[in-house]
Structure 1
Amino acid sequence: MDHLPSLTSDCSQCAALCCVGLTLDQGELFAIDKPSGTPCPNLSRDCRCTIHTDLVDKGMTGCTLYDCAGAGQRVVQMRFNGESWRDDPTLLPAMMRDFNALKPLHERMAQLVEAGTLDLTPNLEAERVALLTRHARVWSDSDTLRNRFDAFVSALAQANP
């Protein structure tokens, strides 16, 4: 499906949107509390993690588990032409808005791609492809799209108990 955006994270093409946008709650997965919209204190000026090689040892295991499914780089490269909030802080609210809107769409696209490895009925396969196409064309989520995805997952579960 060549019309799909990349669903693989490429941090080199992003502006550390997850390191700013995610809320971190101190506990088993994170050594610190950090509200959404605040850059992680481990983030360098060039949007790189200063403790990347030591995340687990530093109590930041949650960072190693997170994957935006390509939403971050898509926002930065396609919506903001490669610009970073670090160079222009006025971009941050719009970048966060777009990242938070696109992230669930990318997560569902990744699930739909994975569903393609199953032995689907022709109707389920047609709906999977239609959902992938629709998810790839929009930049924000909707109740209609979520409901359609949920109905697909329910039908998939019934067909593959």
Structure 2
Amino acid sequence: MAVEAEVLKELRRLRACMPEVTGVLAASADGLVLARDMPDVEPEGLAALTAAALGIGQRMTDLAGGGGFRELLVRGAGGYIATYAAGPTAVLTLVADDRVNVGRLHLEGRRGGSRIADLLTGRFPADRPLLADRPAPAPAPAPATPRGPMLGALPIRIPPQSRREY
């Protein structure tokens, strides 16, 4: 399967797992659309503006000594536009309405950006499931005798002078 199809599959996964996300776009750092799933927004214009914002974000992090660009969040009256680095040559942009949980938006956006970066660089096999798609590991078996933290691990002696009778 082509990389573009896998990137589009990731964009659709993002929209499916967060109903408040109304559009997603993967673009190159120079503003070219790689893949999109956004019905109500002109993707070419958003990709070009994302590239401009990316340049400003990179310059700001350089001047402030904040390291390389990771993400940018813009809040408008009707919602959010979040842009995440997707490797050195691409970005992921999510458009969400104002009811979105911003913490979850960041979690899914960072995860999606990382997956897209891996897809674009060939480091991530397309058939390998995401961490979130894997079954949860089996819980560890309970200890044979219930103990609190460190109880029973060390002998406890209370000196006679510190004992009090109530």
Q: Same fold (TM over 0.5)?
A: no
The higher radius of gyration belongs to: 2
Structure number with greater CO (CA < 8 Å, separation at least 6) is: 1
**Larger relative strand fraction:** 2
TM-score normalised by L of structure 1: 0.30
Looking at secondary structure, tell me which structure has more helix per residue.
1
